[in-house]
Amino acid sequence: MNKLKILNDPIYGFITIPNSLIFDLIQHRYFQRLRRITQMGMSYLVYPGAHHTRFHHAIGCVHLMQQAVNVLRFKGVTISSNEENALYAAILLHDIGHGPFSHAMEHSIVNNVSHEEISMLFMERLNEEFNGNLTLAITIFKGDYHRNFLCQLISGQLDMDRADYLKRDSFYTGVAEGNINSERLITMLNVVDDELVIEEKGIYSVEKFIVARRLMYWQVYLHKTGVAAELLLIRVLKRAKELHQKGRKLQASKALLFFLDNKISIENFNHETLEIFSELDDYDIISAMKHWQHDEDFILSKLCKMIINRNLLKIKVKNNKIKDKHLENHINTFMAHYGVSREEAAYFVFTGSISNQAYQSKNNRINVLFKSGKIMDIVKASDHLNIKTLSKPVTKYYLCYPKELLQ
């Protein structure tokens, strides 16, 4: 069977699958599941085109990694064929642990188990199936490999993950501000003392990349309507789990029922749990919500209707913390309007915060290599006034409440 296939991608054009190991990993049911996991969670409720999947993104990352390997080898950086294959496998599988609607799962039906931890469990399981061929990929993925630039290509300030998702998400949402020149960025990469650097003439591309990242976070990933939708989904799953553990039998897929029935943490995330998790995707959640919108429980039913019919909560975003009296007013109004308890009202009226830091200079800095051989952090190397500012976190605060309580 010919395993050197060519795929047609709307962003990069034709993408080649580099070897039979990557082909077999793509064909594996664990990876095929990513076709059913949306890349951007609930963002399609804001940007109707944002229906692309984690599958698209992972394939795109492999393509960019092939470009990076070619560029670095052209510049005299030694990368063995084992290291090359490990890079492709690691970047292909970096998101394999994402649950339905991406980040919503981590805060609801599993107890603080991150998608990175689940990705690692999947990779270790696949490594058993593939006779240890993923051992080096796992070492690089963990950041434990002695050649640090390989780890930085997987997870760093200028990794292939970011290089793909900014460009891809910009394309599918239509938000042009995120459209970075990933090809030029990769072409400007180099390695000094096993650390990734960007050549001096790539400074402006890096500046554009950092600014694009900031704009994409405020306009897309932290768009207030998308945030409100994800917070509703988290509450849907939390309420369903609460009811189920009190003995209420809800209609849902076997995989979803398992996670509603059990308290799953990283300690008890065993092989059996992983197998069940591998059957869970966006369709389980959508299908369940379509049933639950007719449930007799007022909270579960109302939350599901809000998402299914896109009648979302009103969300106000402020630069300062929300005053307690504003929260209290809305909670009391909701309690009086619907005759529910304070605990029940808290599902619909709540506050929180969102934070955006375009460039984290403390860990994995973007270092610029000058022609003189001098290496400098992009913050100092750039004459762009905003770059220093963009390396500081910005936090905003929100208040959510139902639209029918508008005052």
Counting beta carbons within 10 angstroms of the beta carbon of residue 132, is it exposed (0 to 12), middle (13 to 18) or buried (19 or more)?
exposed
Query: How far, in Å, CA of 111 to CA of 351, rounded?
Result: 21
Both tokens of residue 13? Answer: 């054009």
| CATH assignment, 6-223+369-391 | 1.10.3210.10
Query: How far, in Å, CA of 72 to CA of 188, rounded?
Result: 9
Q: Please answer whether residues 352 and 398 qualify as being in contact, where contact means their C-beta atoms are separated by less than 8 angstroms.
A: yes
In one letter, which amino acid is 170?
Answer: S
Mean pLDDT of the chain: 92
Q: What is the mean pLDDT of residues 160-186?
A: 95
Both tokens of residue 126? Answer: 């696949």
pLDDT tens string 319-334: 999 999 999 999 999 9
Contacts with 181 (C-beta within 8 Å, 6 or more apart), sequence order: 205, 208
Q: Which residue has the tokens 């793909």?
A: 164
User: In 217-355, which residue ranges form alpha helices assigned H by DSSP?
Assistant: 224-245, 254-261, 271-277, 282-292, 298-308, 324-338, 342-345
Q: Please answer whether residues 335 and 341 qualify as being in contact, where contact means their C-beta atoms are separated by less than 8 angstroms.
A: yes
C-alpha 207 chain-centroid distance: 22
Residue 388 has pLDDT above 80, yes or no: no
% of residues, the chain, pLDDT over 90: 81
**Element holding 214 (H helix, E strand):** helix 203-216
pTM for the structure as a whole: 0.94
Region of residue 347 (phi > 0: left; psi between -120 and 50: alpha; otherwise: beta):
alpha
Query: How far, in Å, CA of 351 to CA of 325, rounded?
Result: 12
pLDDT tens string 8-39: 999 999 999 999 999 999 999 999 999 999 99
Residue 363 has pLDDT above 70, yes or no: no
Q: Which residue has the higher pLDDT, 401 or 380?
A: 401
| Confidence band of 3 (pLDDT split at 50, 70, 90) | confident
At residue 298's C-alpha, the angle toward residues 292 and 303, to 5°, is: 60
Both tokens of residue 369? Answer: 């290599």
pLDDT tens string 120-136: 999 999 999 999 999 99
Q: Classify the C-alpha dihedral 228-96-53-277 as positive or negative.
A: negative
Q: Which of 263, 259, 255 lies closest to 279 in space, CA to CA?
A: 255
Please report, for the chain, the start and end positions of each structural domain, with discontinuous segments joined by +: 6-223+369-391, 314-357+395-406
pLDDT at res. 384 = 67
Query: How far, in Å, CA of 7 to CA of 15, rounded?
Result: 5
Please report how the helices 160-173 and 54-74 are oriented relative to each other, as an axis angle in degrees rounded to 10: 130
pLDDT at res. 52 = 96
State the DSSP string of 6-65.
Answer: EEEETTTEEEE--SHHHHHHHHSHHHHGGGGSBTTGGGGGTSTT---BHHHHHHHHHHHH
Q: What is the mean pLDDT of residues 263-291?
A: 94
| Confidence band of 109 (pLDDT split at 50, 70, 90) | confident
Kindly list the strands in the beta sheet with 394-401, ordered across the sheet, starting from the edge strand earlier in the chain: 314-318, 394-401, 350-356
| Confidence band of 385 (pLDDT split at 50, 70, 90) | low
